Amino acid sequence: MEKKATREAYGKALAEIGKDEKVVILDADLSGSTKSSEFKKVYPDRFFNMGIAESNMVDVAAGMALSGLKPYASSFAVFISGRAFEPVRQSICYQNLNVVLCGSHSGISVGEDGGSHQAVADIALMRSLPNMKVFVPADYNEAYSIVLATVEMEGPVYIRTSRAKSPIITEGKNFESARATILKSGNDISLIACGMMSYIALEAALLLKQEGIDVEVINSPSIKPLDTETVYTSAKKTKRVFTMEEHSVIGGLGSAVSEFLSENLPVYVHKIGIEDTFGESGTKDDLFCKFGFTKEAVAKRIKDRLNG
């Protein structure tokens, strides 16, 4: 199966949307890592390196949006959601500006750089802000499609990409906000995932199938707004929901699903994610083992929960 990183799609898609002369790209000295450098190769006059100053980068993007441009600003997820949170709130979201923010190197799959650089709460932070949309692509194709779709989107958007390569599992055609897709239908439980967890969810579902558990796997790239219709329909059928994300269990996809279901269709929801802790150094694969992000660990956890 072909493997590519979602951050690579961000760069490629920027180069594509650059034909729109309103599009400007900002980065904070990480353009080679976030891949926004791909845009610079084609449109150097509309690429602005703002140096290691993420807060100013976000405010500059706001000022550009107020002047009629369509800025895309990127950095590591931990910096753009953390260091720059205040201007994201005060300037981008408060004014509901047409700015797209991209946080790359999200989650523990960053690997060796360690816990200081692994964003585990960025979805929670961004999701909590009024007007902000939050998208987490499952793979390269979906990331590419998301970037294309954001050109015409009104209001602020946060796109979460990853450093590590992961298998391509979607066609990634015509992304729409608030739309989840069923990767595998099933009747016993609903497993709702985002990011590269969607692939692991699919693999875990195949393992569980051998044990007689029929899992419906849903890929939900749009954390906010959530595809409540798909979540509702699936939860009504299975009555047992599991969520899976490379993010804290506090405030991410699992929380969004729980918040919706608790008010509209109270069913059992179990959240698989990072258990209110920070990451650490290691290879991506070693970290995924330690944090329980393997198909075997996920399948076992779901089985234990169903038996418990």
Partner 1 sequence: MEDFKRLEEIAKTIRRNILTMLNKAGSGHSGGSLSITDILVALYFGGIMKYDAKNPDWEDRDRLVLSKGHACPALYATLAQAGFFDEELLWTLRQLGSPLQGHPDSKKLPGVEASTGSLGNGISQAVGMALAARVLKKRYNVFCIVGDGEMQEGLVYEALMAAGHYKLSNLIVIVDNNGLQIDGQCKDIMNVYPLKEKFEAFNFRTYEMSGHIYKNIIDTLTTAKRNVVSPTAVIARTVKGMGVSFMENRVEYHGVAPSDEELKKALKELG
Return the active site residues: 54
Q: Binding to partner 1 by residue 67, rule CB under 8 A?
A: yes
Q: Which one of residues 95, 181, 233, 281 is an interface residue with partner 1 (CB under 8 A)?
A: 95
Length of the chain: 308
C-alpha to C-alpha distance for 308 and 301, rounded to whole angstroms = 10
Selected range binding partner 1 among 47-55, 105-113, 244-252, 269-277, rule: CB under 8 A: 47-55
**Contact stretch for partner 1 (CB under 8 A) within 89-97, 150-158, 200-208, 285-293:** 89-97
Among the residue ranges 34-42, 46-54, 139-147, 167-175, the one whose residues contact partner 1 (CB under 8 A): 46-54
Could you say whether residue 64 binds partner 1 (CB under 8 A)? Answer: yes
**Integer Cα distance of 175 and 278 in angstroms:** 31
Mode of pairing for the β-strands spanning 166-167 and 268-274? unpaired
Q: Is residue 19 part of the contact set for partner 1 (CB under 8 A)?
A: no
Q: Which of 4, 12, 56, 290 is the binder for partner 1 (CB under 8 A)?
A: 56
Q: Cα separations (Å) of 177 from 133, 222, 235, 249, 259? A: 8, 6, 20, 22, 19
Is position 245 an interface residue for partner 1 (rule: CB under 8 A)? no
Residues 6+ apart with CB under 8 A from 259: none
Single residue of 4, 12, 48, 177 touching partner 1 by CB under 8 A: 48
Residue 61: DSSP 8-state:
H
Residue 7 has a CB neighbour count (10 Å cut-off) of: 27
Residues of this chain that bind partner 1 (CB under 8 A): 24, 45-46, 48, 50-51, 53, 55-56, 59-69, 71, 86-87, 90-91, 94-96
